[in-house]
Structure 1
Amino acid sequence: MYLSRLSLSDFRNYKELELPLGRGLFLFHGDNAQGKTNLLEAVSMLATATSFHASSDREVVNWEALDHVARLDGTVQRQEDSIQLEVLIVDPTPPTFAAASGVNVSQRSIELPAHAPRKRYKVNGVPKRTIDLIGQMKVVLFAPSDLHLVDGGPEERRRFLDRALCQVQPRYSVALVKYRKIVTQRSALLKRIRENQEDPAMLNYLDEQLTQLANQIIYERRRMVDALNEQANQFQQAISGGREQLQIIYRPSFRVEPTWGLSEAPQHYREQLREARRKEILQGVCLRGPHRDDLEFLVNGVNMLSYGSRGQQRTAALASKLAELAFMHASTGDQPILLLDDVFSELDASRREYLLCQVAQYEQVMLTSTDLEGFPSDLVQRSHRYRVNKGELLSDE
């Protein structure tokens, strides 16, 4: 699988871009804040419908876009066919700037109907839902934040699982969206119950919905972690010179027994919700469920979050990301597109060399860096190189 063409219009600092692509390694280099990460963000959005870089979708729309719309368009070559993906992001209320700022922004806002979508998708020119876009193209992202997978917060580790599973399992993406809505509704209800504005019995229906959806999410996360463990330890051993053994442990907030089948597990989860109900009402939040799951990384039996050195933590994170890559390839039969966003500057020479050896064999790799020093000369020579400057690309070839 590879992206053969990428077209951007008013996306971040790219007013207009038409970039032919193909198989192989693409190196995008240049100073900071020139648009290197924005390129990878655009590719990722075509695959996942979300940004790994923005806190709000409206951030990706160029400030000077006259219509306040960003457009992403790409053609993907897959094993079985070719497919065109398109994403439109609307910012109906663009930021305002003082005249002295020098930024030329149209003050006209867009009147959208109530509840009109801010993002719209097309697959082969036909309007589609979010769920129909996700997974049509598959990507694995390596960013500096991914090197903090082990020592970062639980939300980073949940995102690590969700980003891969949403691409390989469409039903997982549907379950996750529905689950998050139920958690929001249930938390609001818990607060009203705490204020004696609602009957606690009203939780029963939401508990039923939450546990059914949680059951699907937990099942897929357990399967993915099992698959990761089949690969991650091999990478850990290779990077550490055989000195370290890695085990990834899934820590769901619900108590889960291996003997529970898919049909019986929800009942056990509902019982645990009932046990926690009084505490949940007092705090006004959902205390159990996949939104509170975590992962634990053990190297030679030692918890890396609490006791790992910086080098061990980064090796475990790198091994886990490479295992994610293998998991997605095995799950779909397609090699995902690799996006490496300035990650090599965060690695020492040995880890950088190992990662390069692993990714060089993949069908398409997009890599950003501030400079090309430190990369093997033969790799640089056979790559497609572009200098990025203020949202414009200049080929080095």
Structure 2
Amino acid sequence: MYLSHLSLSNFRNYEQLTLSLSPGLFIYYGENAQGKTNLLEAVGMLATVNSFHASSDREVVNWHAPDHIARLEGTVKRREDDVHVEIALFDPTPPAIPTNGTTPAPTMELPASTQRKRLKINSIPRRTIDVIGQMKVVLFAPLDLHLVDGSPEERRRFLDRALCQIQPRYCQAIVKYRKIVTQRSALLKRIRENLEDPRMLDFLDEQMTQLASQIIYERQHMIEIINQQVDPLQTAISGGREHLRVIYRPSFKVDAAWNILEAQEQYQQQLRDSRKKEIHQGVCLLGPHRDDLEFVVNGINVLTYGSRGQQRTAALSTKLAELNYMRLSTGDEPVLLLDDVFSELDHWRREYLLQQVMQHEQVLLTTTDLDSFPREILQKAYISRIEHGAVQQEQPTP
């Protein structure tokens, strides 16, 4: 699988951009704030419909877009067919832009009811769930190097981003689950204030645990496969000194012997047992939204006792294992996006990552300079400079 064509219109600082791509390594270099991350963000959105960089869709719309719309198009070459994905993003409340340094230019606000996002596959309107996973990507950004020592939310995002691309039903479940958690938290607060009957929780608990059992099952299965991949990677990067195991830590008590229905019943009982505490605090204390991962190297939790180098090696190994997991699960090679991670790695880890990168079908990589790349890598890569939202391809390194 690879992206063969990319077209952007008023996306971030790209007023207009058209790229033709092929299998291989593409290196985009330039100073900071020129559009390198924006380019990978666009490719990621074609796969997941959401930005890994923005908190809301409106942020990606160029301030100067005359119609307040950003457009993305991509053609993906897959084993079985080609697919063309189109995304239009609307900003209904664009900011006022100064024209002379003092007076904002007038802007046209769109109605609040205006559809924010329109999606098409092969020119046919589609839902978000239909578009996610048409192209599969694995993103590796500096934040991912903090997968081990970052927040539990980042580790849950790592699970969800991969699973949503390969399991549409998982994506539907996680969206529904989050809505129920929001509703349930609001209800817990109202019960605490004696505004609702606690028995109102029974219906939401049933819905919540039905979805939770599905989400937990898929996460467990993913980590099982990840663990088949991650230890050889950790061993190779560490020169044979370290062995890594990733442990899934659900907030519910889980037993591998339970089937999905038994698990749901057990989770409901655990919610009943914690009901008084949840009402007192006004929040949902159990469920996949509170799950976490633990990284164990040579039997030791590296979050608590590991060195910074061990933590980064574990993060690197886990991201590479994610790539293998997605390939094994779908039969397709995901597009690998590397957003300026080489500057964050030491020489040995950088060399190892480069060796792994060269084995994948298509890699889009950004960096501030080319000095840290071996000549033999540069000779095999397609190199382009990005400056002020313009991409200029350069001649191959002799």
| Fold in common (TM above 0.5) | yes
Shorter-chain TM-score category?
Answer: over 0.9
1:85 to partner: Cα distance: 0.2
User: Which residue identity is paired with 1:299?
Assistant: V
Identity %: 65
Superimposed CA distance per residue, residues 244-299 of structure 1 (whole angstroms, 9 cap, x where no aligned partner): 01010000000001111112110000000001111111111100000000000000
2:66 is matched with 66
Alpha-carbon offset, residue 96 of structure 1: 2.0
Give, in angstroms, the shift of residue 33 of structure 1.
0.3
Q: Is the 8 A contact 2:4 2:21 kept in 1?
A: yes
Gaps of 5+ in 1: none
Q: Is the 8 A contact 1:387 1:394 kept in 2?
A: yes
Unmatched runs of 5 consecutive residues or more in structure 2: none
Q: Which residue of 2 aligns with 1:328?
A: 326
Aligned mates of 2:104, 2:327 — CA distance in 1: 45
The two structures, once aligned, show a CA RMSD in angstroms of: 1.2
Amino acid at match of 1:163: R
Equivalence for 2:266 = 268
Amino acid in structure 2 at the alignment position of 1:347: L
Q: CA deviation at 1:106?
A: 5.2
Find the counterpart in structure 1 of residue 41 from structure 2: 41
1:5 aligns with 2:44: no
Structural mapping, 1:336-375, within 5 Å: 336-375=334-373
- 1:107 maps to 2:74: no
Post-superposition Cα deviations, 1:145-184, rounded to whole Å, max 9, x if no partner, equal 0000000000000000000000010100000000000000
From 200, 205, 208, the equivalent of 1:207 is: 205
- What's the counterpart of residue 94 of structure 2? 94
- Aligned partner of 1:14 in structure 2 is 14
Q: Aligned match of 1:312 in 285, 310, 322?
A: 310
Q: State the alpha-carbon separation in 1 of the partners of residues 115 and 152 from structure 2.
A: 30
Shift of 1:117: 3.3
- Deviation per CA, 1:15-67: give whole Å up to 9, x if none: 00011111111110000000000000000000001111011111100000111
Letter paired with 2:29: H
Quick one: distance in 2 between partners of 1:169 and 1:98? 45
- The AA in structure 1 aligned to 2:81 is D
Structure 2 residue identity aligned to 1:151: D
- Aligned residue number for residue 133 of structure 2: 135
**Does the aligned pair in 2 maintain the 1:65–1:105 contact within 8 Å?**
no
Q: Distance in 2 between matches of 1:15 and 1:82?
A: 26
| CA deviation after TM superposition for structure 1 residue 101, in Å | 3.4
Q: TM-score by structure 1 length?
A: 0.98
Indicate the residue corresponding to 1:24 in structure 2.
24
Encode CA deviations 1:361-382: one digit per residue, 9 max, x unaligned: 1111000000111111111112
**Equivalent residue for 1:386?**
384
Secondary structure at 2:260's aligned position in 1? coil
* Aligned position for 1:56: 56
What TM-score, normalized by structure 2, do the two folds share? 0.98
Output the CA distance in 2 between the equivalents of 1:371 and 1:10: 26
The 1:212–1:61 alpha-carbon spacing in structure 2 relative to 1, beyond 3 Å, is same
Checking the alignment, whether the CA contact within 8 Å between 2:98 and 2:104 is kept in structure 1 is no
Q: CA deviation at 1:102?
A: 7.8
Contact in 2 for aligned 1:28/1:385 (Cα 8 Å): yes
Q: For 1:215-294, what aligned pairs fall within 5 Å after superposition?
A: 215-294=213-292
Distance 1:136 1:4 in 2: 14
SS at structure 2 position matched to 1:270: helix
Aligned residues: 395
CA distance in 2, matches of 1:104, 1:78: 47
Aligned equivalents of 1:245, 1:351: Cα separation in 2: 16
